[in-house]
Structure 1
Amino acid sequence: MLFDTTIIIGTGLIGTSLALAFKETKEISTIIGYDIDNNSLKEALKLGAIDEPAKISDISKADLIIFATPVESTKSILHDTISLAKENTVVTDVGSTKYKITQLFDTFKNKRVNFIGGHPLAGSEKSGPLNAKADLFKGKKYILIKSANCDQVYFNKFERLITKIGAIPIIIDAETHDEILSITSHLPQIISYYLVKTLMNLKEDNENYLKLVGAGFKDTTRLSKSDPQMWIDIFKQNKENILHAIENFEKELTAFKKNLIEDKYNEIKDDLSKISKFEL
């Protein structure tokens, strides 16, 4: 087995899905769970994702600690609990921002824990343990960031576990992660939210806007159903990169608007042709 006892802190969609996926690998002897939401914890237990509920102090029992909580919550819990972790414990998270949390861990120089920043590029606009799936990570990229104080042996060990749940490890640095995710994840979320807000504003004067919402609009705005508090935390931690992403998007939107005003449809068509052929 790769790990003896794992504690999942946060038994929502991602935390519970990880627990279910780990169960299938049979590479962890015991999985315990902690959540301030007792109902969430009960559901994870009922699903068989965790073997037993835990107290936050049970961090001291684990050789793998996974923070599946909003990024700001992870920071505050870490400050209060890092002293409880055993020497050489592997500590990781699943947050959508990595630079600030990695920086925080690099300040714990007197504590020999192996922090690995983690970000599975998997999930849903749905939340909670009832939407968890053991195969959520299969074929999906799972970003791993090795902190300065992480021993390579423990990094390799956790990477093997991630591979065993069917995910594809991508190893990069924290700054690059946050810069790229501001475009590929955070900007689409913002656009989704504010496209819905645009509709909300317009329907105040004309209810027919709601009657004529089609599948395209619903597909484009699916992300707007995501948990706002989780995203506020991400916006706080990746503010500068997100502002830069918005500026880039505004530049393209302004160029399109100018071409449309000036009836430059050939220029627009050239742009759209290039875009439609771009392989993601």
Structure 2
Amino acid sequence: MPKKNILIAGLGLIGGSLARAIKSGHPDYHVSAYNRSQAPRDFAIQERLVDEVSDNFADLAVKADVIILNFPVQLSIKFLDFLSELSLKKNVLISDSGSTKFEIVTAAEEIFKGKAVRFIGGHPMAGSHKTGVIASSELLFENAYYILTPSRLSKAADFDELKNLLARTRAKFVELSAEEHDAMTAVTSHFPHVVAASLVDNTHDFAAIMPFTENLAAGGFRDMTRIAESSPDMWSEILMSNSEHIVHQIDRFNEKLNAVKRLISQKQSAEIWAFFDKARQLRSQMPIHKGAMENFYDLFISVPDKSGVIYEVLGYFAGHDLSIINIKINETRVELNGVLQLTFKTENDQATAERLIQEHSNYDVYK
């Protein structure tokens, strides 16, 4: 059986990570990469992510058995138009990694109607605060959901083929219709970005009246608005590509805010308590998915602001072979306690660490 020729179009964080995973899982496949800029191409060759690079998309595309587009949705659609003009291999399989699916699936069905081309929409739901191919990792997608969306150009066997190609990503593949994908991601991703940006904008506006306001924006505000620092280019396009579902969520949210507003205005303390309690319970029951760190166990330790306190706490664990995934300091201020956050691989390690801290110190420990 001849080895396959795989084209990764776009060598950013996602494209580079896909290239690594495919090459690792299928070392006999020929993996090529298109990228307009020279530096990512050079890096990909030097690090042996791929076997071939070029800034000539057409030259690579006509040789490919599988093409994965890693661009914003509108740009990917332009590449689909361009592909339709080329003499592609018969039954070439095309996919993408964009954040919305209905628009590109619909475009692909129209562009390739009557052609020997297969198309499956893709969305690996993973990312990093780092960017570019230099930050790419084979482990980026591990345990993350990888959404695959069918089209009139795809069959069940095509999904098996694509999953096999991407097996080394160790992602959790989920098949959804394009409509389902866009509706769900509007709720869990796209609309929350609108809320986060609005909170920042609202606080900034209020600070024009009371300038010290922004100094009081502490942990809760920080956590709720972290995603407001995301790329405006990317998020403006996502909102335009999924506008109907996002507008629907804004309308629903306004209804909920108005309901809470009425409770506050009417001093309905019991109902307000029930509102928060319901949200607390629902949040605790949600299977919040965290990609490669899906199953993890946190401890929060109130520690004094003094030199060596992290080493002190970690010293309590000596000889106990605990697996610590992450260490983070929250809310540290001079002469006040901060919060040391330790993330453990297993629940047993978390329990052992909690016991050891309580045995060796008077620090308050929370889960």
**TM-score normalised per structure 1:** 0.92
1:61 partner SS: coil
**In structure 2, C-alpha distance between the alignment counterparts of 1:22 and 1:164, rounded to whole Å:** 7
What code does the residue aligned with 2:108 have?
F
**In structure 2, C-alpha distance between the alignment counterparts of 1:45 and 1:243, rounded to whole Å:** 44
Higher relative CO (CA 8 A, sep ≥ 6), structure 1 or 2? 1
Structure 1 segment 68-147 matched on structure 2, within 5 A = 68-84=70-86, 85-107=88-110, 108-147=112-151
**In structure 1, C-alpha distance between the alignment counterparts of 2:145 and 2:233, rounded to whole Å:** 24
2:114 partner SS: coil
The superposition leaves residues 116-159 of structure 1 with CA deviations (integer Å, 9 ceiling, x where unpaired) of: 00111111354322332211111111111121122432221112
5+ long unaligned stretches in structure 2:
287-367
Q: Which of 187-196 and 127-136 deviates more?
A: 127-136
CA contact (8 A) 1:5 1:61 kept: yes
1:83 partner SS: coil
The superposition leaves residues 207-254 of structure 1 with CA deviations (integer Å, 9 ceiling, x where unpaired) of: 423323323222222212222112222111211111001111111112
Alignment CA distance shift 1:146-1:196 (3 Å): same
The superposition leaves residues 169-205 of structure 1 with CA deviations (integer Å, 9 ceiling, x where unpaired) of: 1111111111111111111111122222223323334
Shift, 1:27, TM fit: 5.7
Shift, 1:261, TM fit: 1.9
2:85 partner SS: helix
CA contact (8 A) 2:6 2:32 kept: yes
Alignment CA distance shift 1:90-1:274 (3 Å): same
Alignment CA distance shift 1:28-1:13 (3 Å): farther
C-alpha RMSD of the superposition: 2.1
Alignment CA distance shift 1:37-1:252 (3 Å): farther
> Would you say 1:214 and 2:214 are equivalent positions?
no
CA contact (8 A) 1:3 1:64 kept: no
Q: Which of 23-32 and 268-277 deviates more?
A: 23-32
The count of corresponding residues between Structure 1 and Structure 2 is: 280
5+ long unaligned stretches in structure 1:
none
Shift, 1:46, TM fit: 4.0
Identity, % of aligned pairs? 32
CA contact (8 A) 1:22 1:28 kept: no
CA contact (8 A) 1:64 1:89 kept: yes
What code does the residue aligned with 2:36 have?
I
Greater helix percent: which structure? 1
User: Is the radius of gyration larger for structure 1 or structure 2?
Assistant: 2
What code does the residue aligned with 1:201 have?
D
